[in-house]
Amino acid sequence: ELADFEKHKGSFKAALDDDINTSNAITVLYDVLKADTNNETKLALIEDFDKVLSLGLMEAAKKLNSGEGEEDIPEEVKALVEERKAARKAKDFAKADELRDKIGELGYIVEETRQGTKIKKK
């Protein structure tokens, strides 16, 4: 998908050539994410753009994909989180809230995100 790569790279360069118009450059980045092209092309473009923008996008993606940080979470907390997911799925929200509070007492926070359930240390 070299044509897609070159088109988006040209748009990004044009934004930067226009008095370093970073808002347009970010718009091009967003356009790449929703473009009808393969993931390899998107990743190559994002990696290229991030060399200029220095947002740490590739490092953040690697961290997310590796589940980094989750290995520090005790098994007891992970089990409670799984039990909470099951309660939420069964629409037993009172039990889910109770489990969330129990997880909180153990020093962790549970967040529901578009990517799924995240567990963080308080």
* Bridge partners of residue 108, in order along the sequence: 121
62 & 7 share domain:
yes
| Residue of 112, 101, 113 lying closest to 77 (CA atoms) | 101
Could you give the 3-state DSSP secondary structure of residue 117?
strand
**Which pTM value belongs to this model?**
0.50
Residues 55 and 78 occupy one common structural domain:
no
- Each residue's pLDDT expressed in tens, for the chain with a length of 122 residues: 789 899 999 999 999 998 989 899 999 999 998 988 888 899 899 999 999 988 888 888 777 665 555 557 888 999 999 999 999 999 999 999 999 999 999 999 998 887 788 888 88
Count: domains in the chain: 2
Q: Are residues 22 and 40 both part of a single domain?
A: yes
Give the Cα separation of 101 and 93 in Å (integer): 12
Helix (H, G, I), strand (E, B), or coil: what is residue 23?
Answer: helix
Rounded distance between C-alpha atoms, residue 26 and residue 32, angstroms: 10
Domain boundary among the residues 66, 87, 108 is at 66
> Does 62 lie in the same domain as 17?
yes
Q: Which domain holds residue 33?
A: 2-66
